[in-house]
């Protein structure tokens, strides 16, 4: 059961970030509230880097590095605030904030190592849908009024927040975190995206004390990230099947968000942001198309593998009895009277091998004999095929041979049998008017006659 402090400490930090600016909007009062969340995240990352699974340890190290950069950035930001008497944007703190977000992105990416490739494209679609709407409504109007430095800073942080959200969605779909952790850190990334954008807006359109409250989303977001790290070690993770169901549900919704936003802009008579929303819609359509193409390719490969497994004997790697029926149908479909022969092989006293040496030794005998026979067939009749007929019985389908050639080949197979094993063989060559059933029945009768005659011989 989770200890109470895992929830109460981040909750207190979130409450302080919201309430404190109402009473003390200055930098002195804001400093501990701004620095405490990344310090808590730094401690969580350091503990996680020591206690976590080796696969996740590197990710935790990067998260702690990112939290350290955020601490330095907040310190510089508040020192400049004290010196200038007002919040400075952009400032020397911005490179540290950017380095912190990049380190967090790398940490979450390394945390999700081993994920399938399609997971990243799906995460991009899921995060890009709502993210484009936020960027279009809040960031885009500011870019036209900002200088080159402000354009870079204004666009950089919301884009970094969006990439961070992509990494979180990827982890959530992968099933590498508990649902509570995914919810906390996703909410934090959403707050970062909205908060950074609104903070940028307020720096340019107002000088009122409202600007002090909009540092709160960053503090709350980092507190939620720390809380997700605190609850992550407790409890089992959910499986990838749950993540697959979430993907199938949310992908169509996320893909529809930018086109719907475009439609609503036109319906309301507002200027239509065709560059950002339209370009984003095209990008998402391309990603989904490639995703669908990959899914169809995967389905095709799975289908071919299933067909191959259904027609192949897993022990010897030979074609199985089911495959023979299809091959015989093809032979009769292309020729009215094909010249084919069937050689039915049965290892002598194979049950005694299993009883005396065990089934593992019996499997080795089957593999050795089948490899030897397949080698003889390949050398003498490359078009011929060897099948695992069942148990210790094998069948060779030989094309374009008469009785004498079929008998000679059967003798070669008998002689190629690895010592001390022996084999009995029955040979049948197709007669006019016979069906495949008649041909196999005659080969079976000849095999029975070979066994009755003393084994280790060929009958035709």
Return the structure tokens found at 121. 């494209």
CA 2 to chain centre: 31
Backbone dihedral angles phi then psi of residue 303, each to the nearest 5 degrees: -65, -45
Q: From 72, 160, 164, select the one nearest 123 (Cα to Cα).
A: 164
Q: One of 392, 393, 434, 446 is an active-site residue; which one?
A: 392
Sign of CA dihedral 30, 149, 128, 44: negative
Q: How far apart are CA 14 and CA 33, in angstroms?
A: 9
Q: From 344, 345, 339, 342, select the one nearest 431 (Cα to Cα).
A: 339
> Angle at the Cα of 28 (from 198 to 187), degrees rounded to 5?
35
Q: How far apart are CA 422 and CA 365, in angstroms?
A: 11
319's CB contacts (< 8 A; 6+ apart) are 311, 312, 313, 327, 385, 386, 387, 388
Asked whether 428 and 342 are in contact (CB, 8 A), the reply is yes
Is 56 designated active site? no
Return the structure tokens found at 50. 């020591």
As annotated, the active-site residues are 392
């Amino acid at each position: 059961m989770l200890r109470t402090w895992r929830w109460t400490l981040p909750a207190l930090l979130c409450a302080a970030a919201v309430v404190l600016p109402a009473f003390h909007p200055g930098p002195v009062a804001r400093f501990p509230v701004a620095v405490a969340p990344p310090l808590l995240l730094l401690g969580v990352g350091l503990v996680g880097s020591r206690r976590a699974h080796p696969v996740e340890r590197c990710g935790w190290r990067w998260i702690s590095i990112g939290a350290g950069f955020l601490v330095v950035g907040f310190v510089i930001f508040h020192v400049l605030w004290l010196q200038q008497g007002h919040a400075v944007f952009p400032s020397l703190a911005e490179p540290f904030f950017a380095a912190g977000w990049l380190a967090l992105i790398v940490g979450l990416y390394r945390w999700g190592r081993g994920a399938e490739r399609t997971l990243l494209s799906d995460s991009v679609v899921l995060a890009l849908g709502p993210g484009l709407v936020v960027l279009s409504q809040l960031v885009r109007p500011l870019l036209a009024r900002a200088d080159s430095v402000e354009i870079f800073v204004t666009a950089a942080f919301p884009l970094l927040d969006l990439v961070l959200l992509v990494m979180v969605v990827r982890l959530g779909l992968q099933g590498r975190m508990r649902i509570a952790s995914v919810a906390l850190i996703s909410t934090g990334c959403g707050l970062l995206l909205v908060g950074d954008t609104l903070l940028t807006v307020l720096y340019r359109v107002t000088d009122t004390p409202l600007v002090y409250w909009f540092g709160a989303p960053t503090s709350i977001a980092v507190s939620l990230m720390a809380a997700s790290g605190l609850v992550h070690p407790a409890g089992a993770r959910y499986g990838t099947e749950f993540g697959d169901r979430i993907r199938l549900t949310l992908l169509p919704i996320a893909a529809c968000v930018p086109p719907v936003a475009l439609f609503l802009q036109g319906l309301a008579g507002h200027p239509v942001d065709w560059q950002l929303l339209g370009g984003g819609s095209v990008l998402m359509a391309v990603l989904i198309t490639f995703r669908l193409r990959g899914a169809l390719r995967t389905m095709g490969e799975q289908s071919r593998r299933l067909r191959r497994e259904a027609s192949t004997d897993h022990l010897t790697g030979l074609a199985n009895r089911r495959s023979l029926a299809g091959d015989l149908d093809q032979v009769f479909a292309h020729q009215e009277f094909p010249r084919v022969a069937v050689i039915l092989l049965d290892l002598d006293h194979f049950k005694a091998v299993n009883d005396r040496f065990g089934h593992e030794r019996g499997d080795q005998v089957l593999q050795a004999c089948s490899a030897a026979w397949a080698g003889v067939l390949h050398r003498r009749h490359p078009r011929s095929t060897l099948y695992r007929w069942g148990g210790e019985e094998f069948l060779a389908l030989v094309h374009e041979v008469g009785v004498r050639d079929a008998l000679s080949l059967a003798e070669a197979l008998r002689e190629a049998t690895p010592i001390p094993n022996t084999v009995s063989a029955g040979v049948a060559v197709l007669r006019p008017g016979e069906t495949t059933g008649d041909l196999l029945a005659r080969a079976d009768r000849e095999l029975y006659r070979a066994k009755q005659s003393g084994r280790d011989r060929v009958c035709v």
